Structure 1
Amino acid sequence: MLKKLKISRWLLYACAALWLVPLLWMTVTAFRPREIALSPAFSLEFTLDNFARVWSAAPFAQYYINTIIIVVCVFAVQMLTATMAAFAFARLEFMAKNVVFMLFLVQIMIPADVLIFPNYNVLKELFLLDTKLGIMLPYFASAFGIFLLRQMFKTIPPELDEAAEIEGYSKWTILWKIYFPLSRPTYVAFGLVSVSYHWNNFLWPLIVTNSVENRPLTVGLAIFAQSFEIGAQWTEVSAATLLVIAPLLIGFLLFQRQFMNSFIHSGIK
């Protein structure tokens, strides 16, 4: 048994190392001078000129602002809608509650790309193409967030609700003064999932945006990497890619413990 555990552990380490190889190669290439970027020889020469050229060659500052606005607004609305829906499914009783909840779960099994065409037509009718609101609108509700928060809310003793009602608390006050503070690790986990998804979202913003004022980082990076001026300059492309993914890597490293604990407390394997 111990031998099998050791083999499994080493297998996990090997998979992690394979996953790190492209990231390490990209990081090293981003800091190496262009002349020796693809040289197999080891060198201690590193430079920040690649990042300076990238920052001046494309409006990455605007891309960052656009992406942060989109990510923050989507998560804020998702947190509000998912919290209220999860509380209703966990604590309130209404007709066909389980059926409605199953319909919400069905949304998890539907790939977002399948809905691109109908969503595009809706935005066209609403004159929201090439707007930040148009990028955000299809994601204001999250079936995964509702499911995750519902599982967490069901672990909270219902006696707390009864005690709060005796004190004169309304359902809204109970939700925000009891359930919300007790579920902070779950909100952190959901926040990481939501932020990482919308930070990396590419196809939908590519279809609905045409201007720099509304273009997020992923679309800007793709256009930058394919531009005529850059061509196959791997140092600039690697530097631009590192600029895009660095905030996500830092965020995950800072909150990874809360991320894992939230799924354990929610009963999700």
Structure 2
Amino acid sequence: MNNHALASKKNVLKLLSIIGISACALITLVPLVWMLATSLKIESEAITFPPTLIGSRLAFENFADAWNFIPFGRYFFNTIFVSVSIVILELLTASLAAYAFARLRFPGRDLLFVLYLSTLMIPVQVTIIPQFILMNYFGWIDTYQGLILPNAFTAFGTFLLRQFFLGIPYELEEAGRIDGCTRFGLYWRIILPLGKPALAALAVFSFVNQWNNFLWPLIMTNSVEMRVLSVGLQAFQLQYGTVWHLMMAAAAIAIIPSILVFVFLQRYLEEGITMSGMGGR
């Protein structure tokens, strides 16, 4: 009887958990649904009060109008180029640092790692002015290198990859040394191939973060040619009001790459988070 009551209690708690998670998911989807609904309305219906979810017709021409309203193609290219470049550099620098902290033995390693992680506690707003002064000194204002290089290093990515690399058996590296593999060869031929799930997880986090980055591109870019989508969407805010239906259409187009990256790397993302100890185990 006690076992039956315990099982029933577990089932009730499981059901409540599912209901709670589903409710949170639905609440999270509300802004996305409203954005898509507004992107398919005509201008007059996008600003009516009280608002309606569905307009009188589906205005698919809003997407073409939004694309032509601003230099959308240029902004899209800049965002893709900057985001992909930062992802590649982050994977390279974070994996090298993580390998050093996970596998190499040198004096002060643990202290240095703690200091490295402590940078995560520094708000981004605190470092923006020093970074801007440094970029101005190098003459990198309104350039790709000014947008990319300051974001090419990540303490979070180093921590994530280090936790994953610690779970790779040392025997594999010892076998590689017996075969004459160098230290860099061990990193390149053994650690990186086995670390694909964690690398994919970091790539998703990095890409989405940089794709949505607004403050740094806003400060670093002056010309239309160098703007990214997050900054370029401001062009829909005119002097006498915001073109909401076109802004929502542009935003709907802008989120497509992030969704595609997440869909294609979802399996690696889940495996990387779980095996790196970030999954709440």
TM category, shorter:
over 0.9
Partner of 2:43: 34
Q: How has the CA–CA distance of structure 1 residues 211 and 43 changed in structure 2, closer, same or farther, with 3 Å as cutoff?
A: closer
Partner of 2:33: 24
Aligned residues: 267
Shift of 1:41: 7.4
Counterpart amino acid of residue 133 in structure 1:
Q
Instruction: Summarize deviations over 1:156-195 as a string: whole Å, max 9, x none.
Output: 1101111101100111111111111111111111001000
- After superposition, residues 35-54 of structure 1 pair within 5 angstroms as 35-37=44-46, 38=48, 40=52, 42=54, 45-54=57-66
Counterpart amino acid of residue 149 in structure 1:
L
SS in 1 for 2:225: coil
Match of 1:226 among 221, 237, 244: 237
Tell me the C-alpha RMSD between the 2 structures: 1.6
Partner of 1:80: 92
1:110 paired to 2:147: no
Deviation beyond 4 Å, 4+ runs, structure 1: 41-44
Instruction: Summarize deviations over 1:218-250 as a string: whole Å, max 9, x none.
Output: 00012x231248x33321111011121121123
- After superposition, residues 1-269 of structure 1 pair within 5 angstroms as 1-37=10-46, 38=48, 40=52, 42=54, 45-222=57-234, 224-228=235-239, 231-268=241-278, 269=280
SS in 2 for 1:156: coil
Give the distance between the partners of 1:42 and 1:247, measured in 2 at CA: 25
SS in 2 for 1:95: coil
Give the distance between the partners of 2:212 and 2:52, measured in 1 at CA: 31
Give the distance between the partners of 1:5 and 1:207, measured in 2 at CA: 48
**Contact 2:41 / 2:54 at 8 angstroms: preserved in 1?**
no
Counterpart amino acid of residue 118 in structure 1:
P
Shift of 1:198: 0.6
Give the distance between the partners of 1:217 and 1:143, measured in 2 at CA: 26
Give the distance between the partners of 2:236 and 2:11, measured in 1 at CA: 48
**Contact 2:142 / 2:223 at 8 angstroms: preserved in 1?**
yes
Unaligned runs of 5+ in 2: 1-9
Unaligned runs of 5+ in 1: none
Give the distance between the partners of 2:267 and 2:87, measured in 1 at CA: 20
User: TM-score normalised to the size of structure 2?
Assistant: 0.90
**Contact 2:236 / 2:244 at 8 angstroms: preserved in 1?**
no
User: TM-score normalised to the size of structure 1?
Assistant: 0.94
- Say which one has the larger Rg: 2
SS in 2 for 1:213: helix
Q: Which moved more, 1:238-247 or 1:40-49?
A: 40-49
Shift of 1:34: 3.1
Counterpart amino acid of residue 29 in structure 1:
T
SS in 1 for 2:238: coil
**Contact 2:40 / 2:55 at 8 angstroms: preserved in 1?**
no
Give the distance between the partners of 1:254 and 1:227, measured in 2 at CA: 37
Give the distance between the partners of 2:44 and 2:217, measured in 1 at CA: 35
Shift of 1:255: 2.2
Shift of 1:74: 1.0
Shift of 1:251: 2.0
